[in-house]
Structure 1
């Protein structure tokens, strides 16, 4: 059982000044949030009340009362002489950065996961029709179905990166492939260049692998600055690996253009840093044509690309892939085989049909996302004019700047109104990004307009007086 030190927990809790009600209730609410979104692991032993109280600047009675509320609500357990440790209450709540069941009447705005397009049922029906021809075999395809690997390779070639099927390895989603890459490419204690803020599950995977992140600030609208800073960090740290999201970066939405990708590739190669490129949102350019893959600007053997159908098509289709040079593909295949012998056949057959018709899927998905994005931006401008809302050219979310560092308090207030949100600090370290909130535009426009009205009410609960509107509101 891991113990959480008082200083570290105080850093995660952050400022409680925006929370309403008694201090003990505010502290209990913040600790619940930390467990629910995975920043505080289930089963972690909490510091003693006498240690946490001075770290937070609270009385010992306040901390004791907060722990008691956590125990009463099922978020903590205690045993005489053993201390207090985090737990999960009974019911649909899940800890960690994973979409799970939500209560009736609750809208999930924490995760950017679009609904399935109408082509998915037809793809599964076609897969079942095709399945009999494979049934005489043993059913194991460790590298993925040959037809699926060929289609993925063809898709890369169409995007400007010539690829053979031998350079493709099918995985059970992007995170599955990312974890295998970290197993093969990293040793515990090595540095990894990462964007800050970043994708929570990737940051968790890096931490689980013992990586030491070299965090590089990135922002929408400053691709040149991001390229220079990422290249400088690679040189300064000697990091063997950089985890990058050059297409609609999660959560900022930053997309590097072709020239920026070439400069970043040169910087990484000069530092001897291999690029681990997450292309989860590469097919979701909403304004203009997507730039070529970052790997196209890198020398052979200097990149691994991670792809998936979870955002372009549907999260329930657990099919992803890795693209690398064949020798590295063989090493990655061995690492994946230690996790699972082979992926499911029916899903891969369905993925073949969906890749054959992916352009048609995207032709419907992109206009719908543009409409939802416009509706969300307009609703925020109407109801929350003091928020800064930069608009990305692709992806599934906005990275909003709040007028005050109240993100965690806002998440707690919104939950009482039926909105499930992700606090800004979940995308960074400690309580950084308390002035940020990521909002997906994966729901229909009418749903988003109602959600923003509720969000504005929650924001009023946290900070009744909005500040002045920003000078430029980008639409």
Structure 2
């Protein structure tokens, strides 16, 4: 894909196995709509010419033209003579009733604000904020007080840190993007898990990475033999990993697997980008596992740690950070001006006051996530008994559920028509896999979880009826 346009072959790969029992043009139109709703294709992207896509998919040009017309009529595309067909998201969805009159979103695994947030919004905070009015209000690394608070937070987790190793960012996604930009050149191989956090895939690709992946599964965790072989064979420039409560599988790396991972990275000269955003989303793991940053030196590995206040404190606080060597931190700070100049001061002051109370917040989150996990488990057992809820889900923000049939995309599209936003399983892969899976956010309100799953249960018989037997061996769909 080039900026502003997607080629016929790239779109074919994104579509995966899109054919269903509906007429071909409807199935094609539906799958493109889902790619847009999932974010796998952006709004404003020019689609391939009708003839090019027809040749790539083995269809008639008439079929592709009908699919494009269907997209335009539904508000998901527009056309100008001589400019082709461009994707868009409709401003409204007339005729698509929301669940119970209210839109429910299963696409974001996030919690509401911690109850401690309001306790720091006082006159003292405002006075501190006013004290910054005579400054220019931004810098490339973050407020000194917050950087010290983050360094102290790492120290409590067994990773001694100096504030000069910290760069404060506008959320963890910005941190991942900055790290990728600093470490990756166009065409470099970069290793990542599969499935994984889709926005990380996007950031790595935007930096020019050629992604190579090995599996992580709900049942077995990381395939370490495949991972080690991939590092030896490809010597990736960087590696992106979520070692604790992995998104979306919920798995955590054992200590031995962490050591093997770092040994493989060090042997290949690979810099590790370790996403620790969910590291403290513990429900009942009953084990304190070391940060990759705490193990790195012993194995000769370089590790960049990614953190965020947005999951632990509140998504409305767009504060993230990265921990790197002082040299890399300075390089990132010097280069970030092309993307953003700084982070809002007020939000930094808020997080500075709350990070020392992270233990209290962790306990609050533990109870919220336990309630969500049990609500989802009970609702699925009752309403969707053929689905497989993870037997071992000790923390994290979501459950990676196996549907037993490769219909995740069809289900997501049907749910959208009912006002329920669901990210299809392939959103978390790189090659159209994971049609058998759906990510259910246990961070959602238990009542919303129940209501959303009731809608899915109503849709399930009709969606499952059209699962084709030949899909049963579809490579990569079981996770």
Q: Distance in 2 between matches of 1:268 and 1:434?
A: 30
**Normalising by structure 1, what TM-score?**
0.90
Q: What is the rounded CA distance, in whole Å, between the counterparts of 2:270 and 2:382 in structure 1?
A: 45
**Segments ≥4 residues shifted beyond 6 Å:** none
Aligned to 2:279: 282
**Aligned twin of 1:410:** 411
Question: Which residue does 1:82 correspond to in 2?
Answer: 83
The reply to whether residue 232 of structure 1 matches residue 229 of structure 2 is yes
The match for 1:344 is 344
- Cα distance per residue 1:409-454 (max 9 Å; x no partner): 0001111222100011111123211111111011222221222111
Residue 10 of structure 1 aligns to a residue whose secondary structure is: helix
Distance 2:152 2:162 in 1: 8
Cross-structure match for 1:42: 43
Which residue matches 2:176? 178
The equivalent residue for 1:96 is none
Q: Deviations over 1:191-236 (max 9, x none)?
A: 011111111111011111110111111112424x433332321221
The runs of 5 or more residues in structure 1 that have no matched partner are: 94-100, 468-475
CA gap 1:77/1:447 in 2 versus in 1, 3 angstroms: closer
Deviations 1:17-58 (A, max 9, x none): 556x54433322221111222222333332333443454455
Comparing 293-302 with 106-115, greater Cα deviation is found at 293-302
Alignment-derived partner of residue 463 in structure 2: 462
Name the counterpart of 2:118: 121
Give the 3-state SS of the residue equivalent to 2:289 in structure 1.
coil
Q: Which residue of 202, 214, 217 maps to 2:212? A: 214
Deviation track 1:80-122 (CA, whole Å, cap 9, x = no partner) reads: 34332222333499xxxxxxx9996210001112111222223
- Write the distance in 2 (CA, Å) between the matches of 1:465 and 1:76: 27
Aligned counterpart, 1:8: 10
Note if contact 1:173-1:318 (Cα within 8 Å) is conserved in structure 2: yes
Normalised by the length of structure 2, the TM-score is: 0.89
Moved more, 291-300 or 127-136: 127-136
Instruction: Name the counterpart of 2:240.
Output: 243
Please give the secondary structure, in 1, of the residue aligned with 2:121. Answer: helix
Assess, with a 3 A threshold, how the Cα gap between structure 1 residues 380 and 80 changes in structure 2: closer, same or farther: same
The alpha carbon displacement at 1:463 in A equals 1.5
- 1:12, CA displacement in angstroms? 2.2
Alignment partner, residue 379 of structure 2: 379
Q: Larger deviation: 263-272 or 49-58? A: 49-58
Q: Partners of 1:416 and 1:366 in 2: how far apart?
A: 33
- Matched residue, 1:443: 444
Q: How many residue pairs were aligned?
A: 458
Superposed counterparts of 1:121-160, under 5 Å: 121-125=118-122, 126-160=124-158
1:471 aligns to what?
none
CA contact (8 A) 1:123 1:351 kept: no
* Cα deviation, residue 59, structure 1: 4.5
Classify 1:61/1:466 alpha carbon distance in 2 versus 1 (closer, same or farther; 3 Å): closer
Aligned partner of 1:98 in structure 2 is: none
Kindly indicate whether residue 64 of structure 2 is the aligned counterpart of residue 63 of structure 1. yes
Give distance in 2, aligned partners of 1:226 and 1:270.
18
Deviations 1:105-164 (A, max 9, x none): 210001112111222223333532422333333333432111111111111111111112
Matched with 1:169 is 167
Give the structure 1 partner of residue 289 of structure 2: 291
Instruction: Give the 3-state SS of the residue equivalent to 2:372 in structure 1.
Output: helix
CA distance in 1, matches of 2:195, 2:460: 23
**In structure 1, C-alpha distance between the alignment counterparts of 2:48 and 2:362, rounded to whole Å:** 50
Alpha-carbon distance between aligned partners in 1 of 2:260 and 2:341, rounded to the nearest angstrom: 39
Shift of 1:309: 0.9
Cα separation, partners in 2 of 1:140 and 1:3, compared to 1, 3 Å: closer
The residue matched to 2:240 in structure 1 has which SS?
strand
Deviation for aligned residue 1:2: 4.2
Aligned equivalent of 2:471: none
2:44 and 2:99 map into 1 onto residues whose CA distance is 22
Consecutive unaligned residues in structure 2, runs of 5 or more: 469-479
Partner of 2:476: none
Aligned mates of 2:173, 2:467 — CA distance in 1: 39
Q: Quick one: distance in 2 between partners of 1:7 and 1:424?
A: 21
CA distance in 2, matches of 1:304, 1:297: 12
1:255 has 2:256 as partner: no
Contact 2:153 2:356 in 1 (8 A): no
- Given that 2:193 and 2:213 are in contact with CA atoms closer than 8 Å, whether structure 1 keeps it comes out as yes
